[in-house]
Amino acid sequence: MQFAEDHATAEFVIHSCDADGIRVNDQNLSESFLLLPGQPVRPWPVAVDSPLRPEHFSAVLEHNPELVILGTGADLRLPDPEVYGALLSREIGLEAMTTVAACRTYNLLAQDGRNIAAYLILPA
């Protein structure tokens, strides 16, 4: 899905998301990754069928965003309840959705100046 071009001022802008990957700023990504405030795009070694556990989200705890957007691939998958607990204990919200929906949501919230992180799962 190609997103409409706008003149966003957010640090990261997701320009497209489809079966071939995601384009963030000028970078084409074809494997799962995470976006953290003030950090370069990082690979995230999580596959579509991997169980989502608290240790997969340890990087976000260092940056303390107000919200984590989790894109789980083409289908919605909820992480283990312990993931929610680990983040909520630090007052970090978590919203899980399909990756396409997560890309759109990330852009809207980032453009609004929100302190958010995104974990986006892509097929290997």
- Per-residue pLDDT tens digits for 45-59: 998 888 999 999 999
> What mean pLDDT, rounded, does the chain reach?
90
Closest CA to 13 of 122, 124, 104, 120: 104
Q: Model confidence at 65, in pLDDT bands (50, 70, 90)?
A: very high
pLDDT at 90 over 60: yes
Enumerate the H helices of 1-124 as residue ranges: 58-61, 81-88, 99-111
Residues 6+ apart with CB under 8 A from 108: none
The more confidently predicted of residues 76 and 1 is 76
| 30's tokens | 């074809």
Residue 17 has pLDDT above 90, yes or no: yes
pLDDT at position 61? 87
pTM of the full structure: 0.89
Single-letter code of the amino acid located at 113: G
- Predicted confidence (pLDDT) at residue 1 exceeds the cutoff of 60: no
Q: Which of these, 34, 55, 52, lies nearest to 43 by C-alpha position?
A: 34
pLDDT of 10 strictly over 80: no
**Percent of the chain scored above 70 by pLDDT?**
92
